[in-house]
Amino acid sequence: MDGALRVTDQAQARAHTPLEYRPDIDGLRAVAIIWVIAFHAFPEMAPGGFVGVDVFFVISGFLITSIILKGLERGEFSFAGFYAGRVRRLLPALCLMLITLLVAGWHFFLADEFRSLGKNVLAGIAFVSNFVLWQESGYFDSAAESKPLLHLWSLGIEEQFYIAWPLLLYVARKRGMNLLHLSVGLALASFALNAWLVHRDPVATFYLPVTRFWEILAGSMLALVRSQTANVPPGAATSDGHNNQNRSAGPWINNLQAAAGLALLLVAVAMLDKKAAYPGYLALLPVSATVLLISAGPRAWLNRHVLSNRGIVWVGLISYALYLWHWPVLVFLRLGSAEPPTVAARLAAIGVSVLIAWLTFELVDKPVRYGPHPARKALALCAIAAALGISGGAAYQFNGMPWRFSDSLQKLAAFQYDYRADYREGTCFLRTDQDASAFQDCSNPLPRAGAPSIVLWGDSHAAHLYPGLKASLEANFKLTQLTSSSCPPIVGLVLEERPPCKGVNDYVLHRIGVEQPDRVILAALWNGGWGYDSTRIVDTIRALRAKGIRDIELVGPVPHWKDGLPRALYRAALRDVPLHRIPQRTRSGLIPLEQLDAQMREISKAEGIAYISPWDTLCDTNGCQTVTEDNGVPIAWDTVHLTAEGSRFLVSHFPPAMLAPSPR
């Protein structure tokens, strides 16, 4: 994300780097950060703005490799100097941002949120955020919008590359190897792995360094081509006073390259979105665009008159600090309000981010990067980074340090819930990578001879009913749980993001036909969040009827809390409601689902089956139930999933006829 020389004139550039300063590259950096911010703040307007990160990768590879090559050619390269420079370049703004987040998290985050923040601070300062985020990614992982350090994944990939790349260049050059051939081979291997894995494990492909290195290497190869084909090293001034970029090419070729690069970049931003199989082959668009724009050189009309514009260059100069600050500012904007932020609020957040980034650049970045005592500065930064790592590790190790709150807030602040045992994940509530063969021991023993039987079928919104059904029904019913994450109980449904889903539903329908339970309960999210039509539940109802099942019950949506129920309660407690007066019901942060509830009720009525409305049970004109009446435990542990206590509370208020055994 960095890789850039953020200086204000060529004199400063020559004083601190062996490369001739190119303002158009800072301008290109500005274009990249603008697209990234647009994607984060207004994803509907810039669906492919995330490709700005790929632009940064290529720029970084070009500039850093050029610096290393120049040092090697002059015999001035040293590993200590290189890494000390990286420390002075990266850590000042990064440490300031992480310190700010730890202080803010200390005052405003729940224990589990502060624990997660601590882990990600440690990962960020160690430049391994991409690995941590890869491991965290999953169906029940907190939404990306609530992770203030999500954006550090790209910084991790860059620095992992630069751990090995200088040593590889140094050794290869000493042994007389062709550095360009070596880079091409590595880039092809990385790209091939990326293209092969993107459809098999898209999350890993996005976060793993080996599937991203080819993008940085694209810039590195451009630097190597410049070094091997020019009469003077890349970036140095030629005898005619011009920078040695595309020296032999005519102006029309330079202009054509720049125009083609801009066109490709615009196509990527306009055509791609977060549903695309990315990076994969599609990442060739922004990578090729960046290579074309850089190789066009500073004399291309677009680069000279547009990308070198003083205003655009200024944005490029602060782009690293702006990248670091904009995402946490947007996250705190979303967390600070129960309602989605308005356009005006998001624009204001961007303005605040620009101001903070400029102050960081002027007051922190420049004084630390330049001036006397560079070695001492690097050592001091390493000490600060170590202290940050220890602080983050302590927040993680001590479970978010709930003792930092007053006694009245500790119970709520320390609230944590592990759904896996109560939902029976992995055996009766399948993970997204499991197929029907993973179902095991999903029925309780018959409580008595001739006891009626019930099958619970659906996704996580069926699984979270199991603790309540078990408590209320197990003594009188044989209860079988056949649930699978992200897989609504709709026969014939094919979901690209959940390939085993169709097979799971086919298995459950067949098993129901064989076992002939007395009752089938269907439950799911029902809002079509994975791209399905909830009205297709009619197909399942009719398929069950064809199997001879007459007693079918459809469970509607549960309340949906925008940022999660615990955070909504904590926000209320921090503002003006003491813990002992946490409201039993509230509408704060509640997403209205009355229309969806009515739709599912109408489907049930039309098909002649029973309908159970959690919305009617938990909600009224004053809002929805927040905590259980007996022990004050939150009904839900995230945005839409019930705690075991919440499940038991809900099911205990189901219609009495459902809870009583019917004669066989």
38 and 104 inside one domain: yes
Highest-confidence segment of 104-113, 432-441, 569-578, 627-636: 432-441
The stretches of 109-237 forming alpha helices (DSSP H) are: 111-125, 129-136, 153-174, 179-197, 202-207, 213-229
> SS3 for 430?
strand
Report residue 294's pLDDT band, with 50, 70 and 90 as the boundaries. Answer: very high
Taking residues 469-498, report their average pLDDT.
93
CB 539 within 8 A of CB 490: yes
> SS3 for 453?
strand
pLDDT above 90 coverage of the chain, percent: 71
427 and 333 inside one domain: no
pLDDT digits (tens, 9 = 90+) for 196-210: 999 999 999 999 999
pLDDT at 242: 39
Report residue 610's pLDDT band, with 50, 70 and 90 as the boundaries. Answer: very high
pLDDT at 82: 94
Question: How many structural domains is the chain composed of?
Answer: 2
138 and 167 inside one domain: yes
pLDDT at 452: 92
241 and 169 inside one domain: yes
| 23-37, 142-156, 356-370, 381-395: range with lowest mean pLDDT | 142-156
CA-to-CA distance for 6 and 21, rounded, in angstroms?
A: 9
CA-to-CA distance for 99 and 125, rounded, in angstroms?
A: 11
| 41-50, 388-397, 414-423, 581-590: range with lowest mean pLDDT | 581-590
Domain boundary among 336, 369, 404: 404
The pTM for the full model equals: 0.77
Token digits of residue 120:
């990600």
Judge whether residue 604 has pLDDT over 50: yes
382 and 461 inside one domain: no
For 485, residues 6+ apart whose C-beta sits below 8 A from its C-beta are 139, 140, 429, 430, 431, 432, 459, 460, 463, 498
Quote the mean pLDDT of the chain.
88
For 272, residues 6+ apart whose C-beta sits below 8 A from its C-beta are 47, 48, 50, 51, 278, 282, 285
CA-to-CA distance for 358 and 342, rounded, in angstroms?
A: 25
347 and 430 inside one domain: no
Judge whether residue 597 has pLDDT over 70: yes
pLDDT at 13: 37
What is the secondary structure of 377-393 as a DSSP string?
HHHHHHHHHHHHHHHHH
Phi-psi region of 198 (alpha: psi -120 to 50; beta: other; left: phi over 0): alpha
Q: In this structure, is residue 567 part of a structural domain?
A: no
pLDDT digits (tens, 9 = 90+) for 442-470: 999 888 888 899 999 999 999 999 999 99
Q: In this structure, is residue 578 part of a structural domain?
A: no
| 41-50, 113-122, 246-255, 495-504: range with lowest mean pLDDT | 246-255
Q: In this structure, is residue 551 part of a structural domain?
A: yes
pLDDT at 153: 96
Judge whether residue 634 has pLDDT over 50: yes
pLDDT at 135: 87
Q: In this structure, is residue 629 part of a structural domain?
A: no
Domain boundary among 371, 404, 437: 404
Q: How far apart are the first and last CA of the chain?
A: 67
pLDDT digits (tens, 9 = 90+) for 234-278: 444 433 333 444 444 568 899 999 999 999 999 999 999 888 999
75 and 185 inside one domain: yes
State the residue for tokens 């976060």. Answer: 207
Taking residues 522-540, report their average pLDDT.
90
pLDDT at 139: 53
pLDDT at 306: 96
Report residue 570's pLDDT band, with 50, 70 and 90 as the boundaries. Answer: confident
pLDDT at 163: 93
pLDDT digits (tens, 9 = 90+) for 174-228: 999 999 999 999 999 999 999 999 999 999 999 999 999 999 999 999 999 988 7
pLDDT at 588: 79
CA-to-CA distance for 124 and 15, rounded, in angstroms?
A: 30
Domain boundary among 349, 378, 404: 404
Judge whether residue 330 has pLDDT over 50: yes
Q: In this structure, is residue 53 part of a structural domain?
A: yes
119 and 213 inside one domain: yes
76 and 47 inside one domain: yes
The stretches of 424-485 forming alpha helices (DSSP H) are: 460-463, 466-473
Taking residues 275-292, report their average pLDDT.
95
CB 399 within 8 A of CB 118: no
pLDDT digits (tens, 9 = 90+) for 424-437: 999 999 999 899 99
206 and 134 inside one domain: yes
Token digits of residue 34:
């603008």
State the residue for tokens 């080819």. Answer: 214
pLDDT at 166: 95
166 and 293 inside one domain: yes
pLDDT at 140: 55
537 and 441 inside one domain: yes
Q: What are the backbone angles phi and psi of residue 233, rounded to the nearest 5°?
A: -60, 155
335 vs 305, which has greater pLDDT?
305
Q: In this structure, is residue 633 part of a structural domain?
A: no
pLDDT at 574: 67
Q: In this structure, is residue 492 part of a structural domain?
A: yes
Report residue 141's pLDDT band, with 50, 70 and 90 as the boundaries. Answer: low
Q: In this structure, is residue 550 part of a structural domain?
A: yes
Query: Domain holding 490: CATH number?
Result: 3.40.50
CB 544 within 8 A of CB 520: yes
Structural domain that includes position 515: 419-557+592-620+643-659
pLDDT at 231: 42
Inter-axis angle of helices 179-197 and 213-229, nearest 10: 160
